[in-house]
A = this chain, B = another copy of it.
Amino acid sequence: MPSHQQSSSAALPSSPVRLMAVEGPNQPAPSAELDRLYRHFEAEMLVPLWTEISGLMPPSPTSDAVPHLWRWERLYEAAAKSGELVEVGRGGERRAIALANPGLGGQPYATPTLWAAIQYLNAGEGAPVHRHSQHAFRFVLEGEGVATVVDGDAITMRRGDFLPQAGWHWHSHINDSDQPMAWIDGLDIPFQRYADTTFFEPGPDVADRPDVVPERSRSERLWGHPGLRPLTQPGAHRATPLLNYRWEHTDAALAAQLDLEARGHDVTIEPGHAAIRYINPTDGADVLPTMRAEFHRLAPGARTAPGQEVGSAVCQVFAGSGRVEVGGTGWEVQPGDLFVVPSWAVVSIEADDGLDLFRFSDSPIIEKLGLTAHLPTGTC
């Protein structure tokens, strides 16, 4: 039974609002009266626009997130050490270690909207079954032996594979090999936490272990045929029903683009720059409602034109080496290195002897909400 409050602010002993009258352009002249007004604002949980507008409404996006790069060998080392010290199981749920953008106050957020983590599973281990509203994917840089099991469908994970998984599906991971394995998880955890849309439900405390992990999952057998769909599922799914995008297809598609370019066809993004987008076969749109995933291949010596876009991205070098520059910060990159691209930061990439790059971003959020009506776009 709620107590009906005559004063709405009675319950606020001290206000989190803090205002200070300062001399400055476009600011009212400090005075005792202004000071009284600001104290009144604080008591009433009010904040004026005129003291905040430069931070709230800048001329163009000025993200708190900063360009940053994580080296794969250090990430892997931290994960392997966690493999010794931390058990995987109910409660902690996963042995996943997230990239924390230095500009975001120590939160486990690669960008304001995106979560990127390395997950590590020892030989024989299993991560318990759960489901959540957050959308997720796995991307495999190296190793094999693990399968992810989604709604009872076991899907092997191998080098170069991309495994999207829409929210609210039961899933667990199992490592039935005799080697540990690590991979990258991407989720929209920061966005869903921000937007207050998070639901989570634990399943059985142990992983779902099928008797046999088949070479090709049920989802691949149903949906992994180019341009074909089962007649039993004629409509659009909100996220892709294809649960593994195998490396052999990605590799072939990129190789074909570069070969067709060499034969004079205009099929690449720019000279020497092939790229594919992973899509939901039921509607041709992004694989997940809130995240876009792509794979880029730069031919030896190719470089991208500098570009920028609204919305943030995370990239992982898959193979090759080169130089990346993001918002004025540059790195020499090697396989496995991960870097973030904050919204509106200018990016350019240059390959040594070729460079393969996996990329994911929050573009579906930006595009579905129509937030860039009149702006140029670039690439990761």
Contacts and interface: CB of A to CB of B under 8 A. Distances in A.
Interface string A317-349: 000000101001111100000000011100000
Nearest to A107: B47
Given A92-B53, A226-B249, A232-B267, A4 B331 contact: yes
A70 B41 CA distance: 12
Interface residues of A, number: 162
Contacts of A140: none
Interface string A166-201: 011000000000000000000001001111111111
A277 B194 contact: no
B373 A329 contact: no
A5 B369 contact: no
Contacts of A369: 289-290, 364-365, 368
Nearest to A25: B91
Given A92-B53, A195-B112, A200-B57, A231 B277 contact: yes
Nearest to A12: B102
B26 A90 contact: yes
B31 A85 contact: yes
Contact of A267 (B6, B93, B222, B281): B222
A75 interface: yes
Contacts of A206: none
A58 B221 contact: no
B227 A279 contact: yes
Given A15-B102, A133-B371, A256-B222, A231 B294 contact: yes
A8 B331 contact: yes
A56 B189 contact: yes
A330 B225 contact: no
Nearest to A130: B57
A113 interface: yes
Given A95-B50, A167-B373, A369-B290, A61 B257 contact: no
Contacts of A196: 61-63, 65, 112, 310-312, 342-344
